[in-house]
């Protein structure tokens, strides 16, 4: 009941921040990366993988990489659930601007929401600098459980990026405010990496939700994810794809509530019992494609977006992998 009150309050408040939403939508709409089918060329894919390691609240990774396709191995060696999200920054802005002008604003808003003051919390986001709405989310991994790794393949244009994770500590502090932000320069050199050949295709959109074209088999699987559209959901983020293994008896509604960061208890560690996060593809602009690879043992899984009410939006799809 508390959660639904928050949702109603949020809805009311969102009207007051319509401009903010509009700007976010424009920000998505302006950045269309038309990669409908990742396969290009006939060269043998190179095996070069870019490693991102989190030992605690950190991203250990190169400062600079070439542009084009890259496979990122995210190695979460910490005791927390994390993801990495890649933000393309407007020219002339850097991680220092982010730390000074964005991080504290989100924390202030979140703290107020946790204190039971959602109206003031959402209003606090009005203090975000104007340039923030020009930041473009260009993918990343899905949520990843502690002591595990994931593989996500993305295409990046040259530019200045920030890698971040906004999962929260038990007191509500965003991981991004505890060190989980890292700058990344993508150079004009172009990588020779080719995207992998998918074994399963996912299409995600606000209209049809998450659509998996094929029956998912066990063993090593490569999922392509095509963002047929993108939008800003009530919690200010776009839809994405997180693959989660469900333990028998676990209540999926706990996952659905938890995965929304704007909920007072959302995205706060520890993650709810019975769910193992296996990565995926973080949100990207309309028209983009990316890939993730997993090794699936028999069991029940769900593909879910980190948006409010994912189930009613079709952004929650369960499937079984049999022997
Ligand atoms: Cu994190």
Per the rule left: phi > 0, alpha: psi between -120 and 50, beta: everything else, 283 is beta
Task: Give me the residues paired with residue 153 across strands.
Answer: 71, 291
Helix (H, G, I), strand (E, B), or coil: what is residue 186? strand
Residue at token pair 């295709």: 201
Q: How far is the CA of 237 from the centre of ligand 1 (A)?
A: 16
Q: How far is the CA of 103 from the centre of ligand 1 (A)?
A: 14
**CA pair distance 183, 94, nearest whole angstrom:** 8
pLDDT in tens, 253-298: 999 999 999 899 999 999 999 999 999 999 999 999 999 999 999 9
Q: How far is the CA of 87 from the centre of ligand 1 (A)?
A: 15
pLDDT in tens, 63-90: 999 999 999 999 999 999 999 999 999 9
The structure's pTM equals 0.85
Q: How far is the CA of 192 from the centre of ligand 1 (A)?
A: 30
Count of alpha carbons within 13 angstroms of residue 70, beta-carbon side? 26
Q: How far is the CA of 39 from the centre of ligand 1 (A)?
A: 31
Per the rule left: phi > 0, alpha: psi between -120 and 50, beta: everything else, 151 is beta
Residue ranges of E strands in 118-165: 136-140, 148-156, 159-164
Pairing of strands 181-190, 64-76: parallel
Q: How far is the CA of 85 from the centre of ligand 1 (A)?
A: 10
- Cα–Cα nearest to 70, from 136, 139, 135: 139
Q: How far is the CA of 163 from the centre of ligand 1 (A)?
A: 11
| CATH number, domain containing residue 304 | 2.60.40.420
Domain range spanning residue 264?
2-321
Q: How far is the CA of 54 from the centre of ligand 1 (A)?
A: 9
Predicted confidence pLDDT, tens digits, the chain (323 residues): 333 334 434 444 443 343 343 333 333 433 333 333 333 333 433 447 999 999 999 999 999 999 999 999 999 999 999 999 999 999 999 999 999 999 999 999 999 999 999 999 989 999 999 999 999 999 999 999 999 999 999 999 999 999 999 999 999 999 999 999 999 999 999 999 999 999 999 999 999 999 997 789 999 999 999 999 999 998 889 999 999 999 999 999 999 999 999 899 999 999 999 999 999 999 999 999 999 999 999 999 999 999 999 999 999 999 999 87
Which residues have C-beta within 8 Å of that of residue 48, sequence separation ≥ 6? 70, 71, 191, 193
Q: How far is the CA of 270 from the centre of ligand 1 (A)?
A: 11
Q: How far is the CA of 323 from the centre of ligand 1 (A)?
A: 33
Q: How far is the CA of 254 from the centre of ligand 1 (A)?
A: 19
- Cα–Cα nearest to 68, from 193, 224, 160: 193
Give exposure, 20-50, as e/b (b: 16+ Cβ within 10 Å).
bbebbeebbeebebebeebeeeeeebeeeeb
Q: Which whole-number Å values give the CA distances from 121 to 179, 235, 258, 265, in the listed order?
A: 23, 12, 19, 14
Q: How far is the CA of 78 from the centre of ligand 1 (A)?
A: 9
Q: How far is the CA of 205 from the centre of ligand 1 (A)?
A: 26
Domain count, the chain: 1
Q: How far is the CA of 166 from the centre of ligand 1 (A)?
A: 6
**CA pair distance 170, 168, nearest whole angstrom:** 7
């Amino acid at each position: 009941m508390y959660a639904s009150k928050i949702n109603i309050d949020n809805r009311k408040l969102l009207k007051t921040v319509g401009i903010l939403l509009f700007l976010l939508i424009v920000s998505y709409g302006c950045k269309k990366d038309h990669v409908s089918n990742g396969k290009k060329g006939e060269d043998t894919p190179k095996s070069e993988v870019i490693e991102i390691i989190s030992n605690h609240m950190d991203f250990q990774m190169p400062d600079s990489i070439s542009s084009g396709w890259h496979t990122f191995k995210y190695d979460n060696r910490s005791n927390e659930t994390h993801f990495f999200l890649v933000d393309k920054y407007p020219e002339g802005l850097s991680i220092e601007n982010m730390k000074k002008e964005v991080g504290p604003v989100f924390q202030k808003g979140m703290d107020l929401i946790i204190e039971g003051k959602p109206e003031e919390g959402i209003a606090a986001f009005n203090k975000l600098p104007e340039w923030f709405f020009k930041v473009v989310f260009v993918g990343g991994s899905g949520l990843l459980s502690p002591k595990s790794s994931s593989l996500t393949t993305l295409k990046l244009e040259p530019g200045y990026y920030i890698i971040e994770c906004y999962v929260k500590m038990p007191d509500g502090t965003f991981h991004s405010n505890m060190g989980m932000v890292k700058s990344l320069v993508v150079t004009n050199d172009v990588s020779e990496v080719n995207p992998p050949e998918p074994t399963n295709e996912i299409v995600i959109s606000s209209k049809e939700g998450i659509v998996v074209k094929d029956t998912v088999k066990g063993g090593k699987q490569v999922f392509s994810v095509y963002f047929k559209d993108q939008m800003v959901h009530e919690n200010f983020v776009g839809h994405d794809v997180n693959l989660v293994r469900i333990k028998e008896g676990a209540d999926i509604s706990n996952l659905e509530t938890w995965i929304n960061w704007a909920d007072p208890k959302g995205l706060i560690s520890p993650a709810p019992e019975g769910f193992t996060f296996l990565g995926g593809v973080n949100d990207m602009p309309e028209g983009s494609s990316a890939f993730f690879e997993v090794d699936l043992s028999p069991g029940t899984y769900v593909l879910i977006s980190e948006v409010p009410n994912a189930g009613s939006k079709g952004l929650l799809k369960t499937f079984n992998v049999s022997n």
